[in-house]
Amino acid sequence: MSKKRTSIGRFIIFLFFLTLLIIVLYQTFRLIKKEPIISPIPPNEKVAVNIFSFLSKKKDPDELKKLIKQKIGLDWKNYSILVVDTKSDFRVAINDTEMFTAASVNKIPILAALYIGIQNTDIDPDTVITVQEEDIQDYGTGSIRYDGAGSTYTIKTLARLMMQQSDNTAAYILANHIIRLDTIQSLLNEWGMTQTDMINNKTANNDVYKIIKKIYQGNIANPAYTQEMLAFFKDTEFEDRIPGLLPKTVQVYHKIGSEIGYMHDVGVVVAPSITYYIGIFTSDITNEKEATKLMAEVSKLVYDYIK
């Protein structure tokens, strides 16, 4: 009888502790379940989540302008920079309507006027021209002056040398004998290039943008002639400015201009994700090597920002 009571007592104690354990576990579970989760987001604020947002980069013209000015600093006293995305309203303009001595940048209007004449069949690009003594421009860039009077070139070859070598004799022959300066100026006036003066060799960045845009978008000539013109803007003898630091996979159609104290480069940059115009005009340049380096750096800065 005594042993039986002892067993019952132990069983009752076991049940008591088991019940107590169950109660403790139950209360603990309830506390954990009811513990509030504190969110850092205000309860009434809706959060829009774009899973691709980390891939995109906002392009702010004002920010790029600031970066360009910081890069140039005090190195250039007088300059103009214009950047225009051809497929959006993104535009960075610094002194874009200020007039500069154009130097060889004004060979672009000569090319445009020439191909309008070719398009209209008024000019045959295969016509052979014999260089006269009085045609030779014995200064600056180009190879024709070394070939001398009596050398012959087709009009198309003169156009190519004018752009890729920036040949001054080729430009003189085309502008004065094949097209005429007054015809070129009339076209520029029609196109709203009111700050470009062919006689006095003046232009502004915004004017150059207008004509390069017309050429690139095929508004000067048919597709075949447009491609022919654009080919003259590529692989020039002066690839150290706008194209200088850009990836080799990027296409750059451009034209430089150089004169004592003046250094320019203007053109279209075609990258896989973007196409944009960039024009850089400078004056009061005393160190051409450093100016060339800075132009390439500004071009790379622009490319890296908006690509």
Q: List the domain boundaries for the chain.
A: 60-306
Q: What is the mean pLDDT of each run of 10 residues along the chain (307 residues)?
A: 54 65 59 41 39 58 98 97 97 99 99 98 98 97 97 99 99 98 98 98 99 98 98 98 98 98 99 97 98 99 97
Query: 274 in the Ramachandran plot: left (φ > 0), alpha (ψ -120 to 50) or beta?
Result: beta
Contacts of 3 (CB under 8 A, 6+ apart): none
What is residue 299's three-state secondary structure? helix
Helices (H), the chain: 2-34, 61-72, 107-119, 144-147, 155-164, 168-173, 181-190, 205-216, 223-232, 288-306
At residue 29, the 3 state secondary structure works out as: helix
Q: Say what the pTM is.
A: 0.81
Q: How many CB atoms lie within 10 A of CB 175?
A: 21
Among the four given CATH numbers 3.30.70.370, 2.40.30.10, 3.40.710.10, 3.40.50.12780, the one describing domain 60-306: 3.40.710.10
Residue 273 phi, psi dihedral angles, 5° rounding: -105, -5
